[in-house]
Amino acid sequence: MDLFTGQIDPKKNWLPKDGVVHYYGPILNHAEANRYFQQLLETIAWKRDVALIYGKRIETKRKVAWYGDQAFEYTYSNHTKKALPWTPELLKLKQLIEKLTKETYNSCLLNLYHSGEEGMAWHSDAEKDLKKHGAIASLSFGAERKFAFKHKESKEKVGLTLDHGSLLVMKGSTQSHWLHRLPPTKLVKTPRINLTFRTIISI
């Protein structure tokens, strides 16, 4: 595996204050990343997500799935989700990113965006059952997409492009002070899969 080629510096902090974001660039070569993309498409139990918009329950076009060490449960939009047991591919990816980021993770939320018209609105990943200030490792496959951060008070913005097979890590106080989003775009016609490895605290 050819790590850190080009000018990507994985030690650089992309945020000017109040958090830490590292972008490693591609951590898998193109052929390996292609193989994972195809395997994830075929082996993950993809389902449409549900959201409450003005109190109305709607289903997203974007598909999601949730895996973990245990059958962790969480409820949102009047809907309870239970984590499925790791697949062999997810376990391999988890071990790889644990080694690279020197952190551990016990669950993974997966998103499948069928085209650039699907994205994710501004949010932070700070639900009460997520470890406070725990690292979140985001692995991307398929279409290259822009990703953005916005400071909750100053509204400062930071943007970067997430490549096929690339790793981004958000840690420290990032989720307390910054929102992030995947902006929709008409320019992208092909699908993208994103995996966010997280640490859930079971109470």
Ligand X SMILES: O=C(O)CCC(=O)C(=O)O
Site residues, ligand X (CB under 6 A): 109, 111, 120, 125, 138, 147, 162, 180, 182, 194, 196
Q: Residue 156, interface with Fe ion (CB under 5 A)? A: no
Instruction: State which residue, 2 or 145, has the beta carbon closest to ligand X.
Output: 145
Coil, strand or helix at 51: strand
CB contact at 8 A, 167 and 36: no
Binding mask 83-122 for Fe ion (x = CB under 5 A): ----------------------------------------
For the chain, the distance separating the N- and C-terminal CA atoms, rounded to the nearest angstrom, is 39
Count Cβ atoms below 10 Å from residue 142 Cβ, excluding itself: 22
| Residues whose CB falls within 8 Å of the CB of residue 56, separated by 6 or more in sequence, listed in order | none
Q: Residue 125, interface with Fe ion (CB under 5 A)? A: yes
By beta carbon distance, the residue nearest ligand X is: 194
Q: Residue 51, interface with Fe ion (CB under 5 A)? A: no
Instruction: State which residue, 63 or 180, has the beta carbon closest to ligand X.
Output: 180
Coil, strand or helix at 171: strand
Name the residues that contact Fe ion, by CB under 5 A.
Answer: 125
